[in-house]
Amino acid sequence: MAREKGIKGGDITVVGIPFDKNSSYLRGPALAPKRIREALFCESSNMWTEDLIDLGEFSGWEVLDDMRLSSQENVFELIENEIRQLLKRRLRVISLGGDHSITYPIIRAYREGYQNLNILHLDAHPDLYDERDGNQYSHACTFARILEENIVIRLVQVGIRTMNGHQYEQAKRFGVEVIEMKNIGKIGQIKFDGPVYLSLDLDCLDPAYAPGVSHHEPGGMSTREVLGIIRNFKGRLVGADIVEYNPERDLHGMTGMVAGKILKEIIGRMLGEASR
């Protein structure tokens, strides 16, 4: 395949982070990484990306087992250290959550290797609460913690449809660029200078496309719209997470297949980056 010419490979790793204790409403995402891996390799589909890269043949990526977190007191420290070890090997890391709180320790690890890091965040929720139910590390607070530490230069949120007064104030305070769902028809190409980390909360999708999430928030994106954003934004994709899949809420593993498809296309974009 002509597309494969010039692919810079060998540096993509997929790791599971089975942690959901910072969920504010329902548990379940700790079960997700295994199910997403199963969906990726499910024989009902094939391993070709839409840009005709055969992931089944290409050896430039690997899938690791879940991180072992169960007996750990300080889970965030452990996640941060594990991600840091992977980044030291000069890998681009795709993490499978887990609830959305895991993005905070991941980004803390990323800051060492990447100054000028941008985040593209797809979600129904801004996740900008200063605290939620007394937990400042709740999955609803992730981006407030990240922005307080000044470890990224830009946060662009897409798909938001649960903005409220407090989080609107937080977005203003931190300079977050919010593309709300109600304005999704008006977005052109999203452009970044420098490295981009993609944080994808599956509830950015409409529950009709992805029922297997804890927070059903109607009025969301289609699978095609999400794939379009992943495929079209300008910038160098250096890491990603897919979070908030809750298999206990899923129907026939449908949302698992959506997550598997998104994972496949993220790997595809990363492998193809050099030829873009």
Quick one: how many helices (H) and strands (E) in the chain?
7, 8
Cβ neighbour number for residue 39 with a 10 Å cutoff: 23
Closest CB to Mn ion among 108 and 215?
Answer: 215
CA distances from 227 to 73, 91, 230, 258 (A): 37, 23, 5, 10
Which residue stretch of 30-38, 57-65, 93-101, 107-115 sits at the interface with Mn ion (rule: CB under 5 A)?
Answer: 93-101
For the segment 117-146, give every residue that binds Mn ion (CB under 5 A).
Answer: 123-125, 127
Q: Is 206 in the site for Mn ion (CB under 5 A)?
A: no
Contact 240, 107 (CB under 8 A): no
CA 35 to chain centre: 16
Residue 11 CB, nearest approach to Mn ion (Å): 27
**Exposure of 257 by Cβ count < 10 A (0-12 exposed, 13-18 middle, 19+ buried)?**
buried
Q: Which residues pair with 243 in a beta bridge?
A: 201
Closest CB to Mn ion among 80 and 203?
Answer: 203
Residue 193 CB, nearest approach to Mn ion (Å): 25
Angle of helix 254-272 relative to helix 32-40, nearest 10 degrees? 70
Closest CB to Mn ion among 123 and 225?
Answer: 123
Extract the tokens encoding 58: 């290409």
Residue 15 CB, nearest approach to Mn ion (Å): 19
Which residue stretch of 31-39, 95-103, 108-116, 169-177 sits at the interface with Mn ion (rule: CB under 5 A)?
Answer: 95-103
Write the binding mask 42 to 81 for Mn ion: x where contact by CB under 5 A, - elsewhere: ----------------------------------------
Closest CB to Mn ion among 195 and 207?
Answer: 207
Write the binding mask 4 to 43 for Mn ion: x where contact by CB under 5 A, - elsewhere: ----------------------------------------
**Exposure of 107 by Cβ count < 10 A (0-12 exposed, 13-18 middle, 19+ buried)?**
buried
Residue 30 CB, nearest approach to Mn ion (Å): 16
Look at residue 109 and give its three-state secondary structure: helix
Tell me which of 35, 92, 100, 261 binds Mn ion, using CB under 5 A: 100
Closest CB to Mn ion among 49 and 101?
Answer: 101
Q: Is 201 in the site for Mn ion (CB under 5 A)?
A: yes
Q: Is 181 in the site for Mn ion (CB under 5 A)?
A: no
Cβ neighbour number for residue 110 with a 10 Å cutoff: 23
Closest CB to Mn ion among 12 and 266?
Answer: 266
Residue 176 CB, nearest approach to Mn ion (Å): 13
Q: Is 203 in the site for Mn ion (CB under 5 A)?
A: yes
Extract the tokens encoding 33: 């990484």
Q: Which residues contact 267 (CB under 8 A, 6 or more apart)?
A: 12, 14, 49, 55, 61, 94
By the criterion CB under 5 A, which residues form the site for Mn ion?
A: 100, 123-125, 127, 201, 203
